[in-house]
Structure 1
Amino acid sequence: MRVERIYRYPVKGLTAEALEEVALAAGETLPDDRRFALVQGDAPFDPDAPAWLPKRHFACLMANARLALLHTAFDPRSGQLVLRPPEGPPLPGDTRTPQGRAAIAAWLAAWLGPEARGRPRFVEAPGHAFTDARAKCVSIVGLASLHALEAAADAALDPLRFRANFYFSGGVPWAEFGWIGQEIQLGQARLRVLRRIARCAATRVNPETAERDADPPRWLRRHFGHADLGVYAEVLEGGRVSVGDALEVLTSGQ
């Protein structure tokens, strides 16, 4: 099996950024993955005492499909985040200053319009990741499983609907569900597979058009008896992972 794509998502709900390689660290997510979020004004999130909250408290594709129309780029060295709408000038924002974060929040709130609740805040909480999973982990999707869903539903699905960190080829459909509790070698890193990923309404959103033009959760239930695609895995031993690296399931004792 082979790693075909690697992505990080610096802002929860916004653009995927493709990577050729990444350095994983034990017990962490991908560097800068879900580092920022637009917190809805009525959400009980405290950046000084960050705790996991369900996605409904943040701007997210499940509730805010229009986010898919934005193209973003984040430079972790400078802290600059550029927001590009389909039309009009981009917003370059400085994520390292209160003024810069306030400007980003105001711009995104205006973009969401009535979907913005109260006065949203653009936040970062060092050491915290705004992931859907409570534990720090990475997400992995088998392209064979995705292709099985496409064939069953007779529909083409952009892999980015599923917002995974790693996509791999090879193997048989749904084989990754049998890896729960097992360790895998991903490039130079060693991980333990934790659980399957249950899919929500976010996958209905076309990442190019922002239209809700498909229903992967319903199709999964109809054709396969579950609504899961992909798995979460925790990093046990860090290391570099590159596109083209092998993914290997480790046998007991390795």
Structure 2
Amino acid sequence: MTGNVTDLWRHPIKSHGCEALPDVTVNPGQTLPGDRVWAVAHEASTANGSEWVPCANFSRGSKAPQLMAISARLEGDTVTLSHPRRPDLTFQPDTEQEVFLEWVRPLTPVDRAAPARIIRVPGRGMTDSEFPSVSLCNMASHRAVEQRLNTQLSTRRWRGNIWFDGLPLWEEFDWLDREVQIGPAVFQVRERITRCLATTANPETGERDADTLGALGTWGHQDFGVYAQVVRGGTIRTGDRVQVL
């Protein structure tokens, strides 16, 4: 049984927007190129850019739902951010932090730790997993959540990297500790992804408007998608075949 890639996404700054891609070249042991290159440490964070640290150290959609309505575009070391409540911002995260912090502060709740600095760990995207991961998401599982809630949902809520269709609901959970080939690349599936309140926010408005976690709970879990590690690199394109090895 095989599926096909429907969408490819990267998130240049963790929790601050995503960008659709027509193709992407993945490399063994690395995150998706351009994905979570930077992360925004808040004022209570201990992150200093020397090593990977858990997501609690960063500004994120579960605490600041307006962040979910950001879209992003990465060109070299320059990022352009868009949001329905803010003017577009083009800047270099490595050298122009203050202009970003001024831009993003109105999107952060006043009762939450404020964004303080942008960090970057050389050679390591700041994924939520302890290992450099690429997230795989199943369109059949997404449609099932939509049916539970009786409403259409944007797939952007899940912040996945590689989306596929043509395989059964929750098929991806049977892939743990197995290898999956996507186009010429091969991944080892390592973990299910446990979801948080970020998924309840609408990526168009930044408002919480769907009980995605409650819907997942009807299946007895709070998981959507899986984290995988690249074991063989290659260029992946929309339409490529997805199959378990």
Q: TM-score under structure 1 normalisation?
A: 0.89
Q: Equivalent residue for 1:8?
A: 10
Q: Equivalent residue for 2:237?
A: 242
1:243 partner letter: T
| Aligned equivalents of 2:174, 2:94: Cα separation in 1 | 42
Other structure's SS at 1:2 match: strand
Other structure's SS at 1:120 match: strand
Q: Percent identity?
A: 33
The verdict on how the C-alpha distance between 1:203 and 1:87 changes in structure 2, with shifts beyond 3 A counting, is closer
Other structure's SS at 2:180 match: strand
| Aligned equivalents of 1:240, 1:69: Cα separation in 2 | 29
Give the alignment of 1:140-159 within 5 angstroms: 140-159=136-155
1:143 partner letter: M
Root-mean-square deviation (CA, aligned residues, Å) is 1.7
2:44 matches 1:42: yes
1:201 partner letter: L
Structure with max Cα Rg: 1
Q: Equivalent residue for 2:222?
A: 227
CA-to-aligned-CA distance 1:45-78 (integer Å, 9 cap, x gap): 111x22322x2321111001111333332212xx
CA-to-aligned-CA distance 1:133-157 (integer Å, 9 cap, x gap): 1111100111111112222332222
Asked if 1 retains the 8 angstrom alpha-carbon contact of 2:41 and 2:116, the reply is: yes
> Which piece of structure 1 moves more, 2-11 or 147-156?
147-156
CA-to-aligned-CA distance 1:30-50 (integer Å, 9 cap, x gap): 001001111101100111x22
Q: Equivalent residue for 1:135?
A: 131
The verdict on how the C-alpha distance between 1:91 and 1:176 changes in structure 2, with shifts beyond 3 A counting, is closer
Other structure's SS at 2:108 match: helix
> Which piece of structure 1 moves more, 82-91 or 230-239?
82-91
| Aligned equivalents of 2:83, 2:223: Cα separation in 1 | 32
1:135 partner letter: F
* Offset, 1:94: 2.0
2:34 partner letter: D
Structure 2: gaps spanning 5 or more residues: none
> Quick one: which of 164, 167, 174 aligns to 1:168?
164
Asked if 2 retains the 8 angstrom alpha-carbon contact of 1:104 and 1:122, the reply is: no
> Which piece of structure 1 moves more, 105-114 or 33-42?
105-114
Q: Equivalent residue for 1:22?
A: 24
* Offset, 1:244: 0.4
Structure 1: gaps spanning 5 or more residues: none
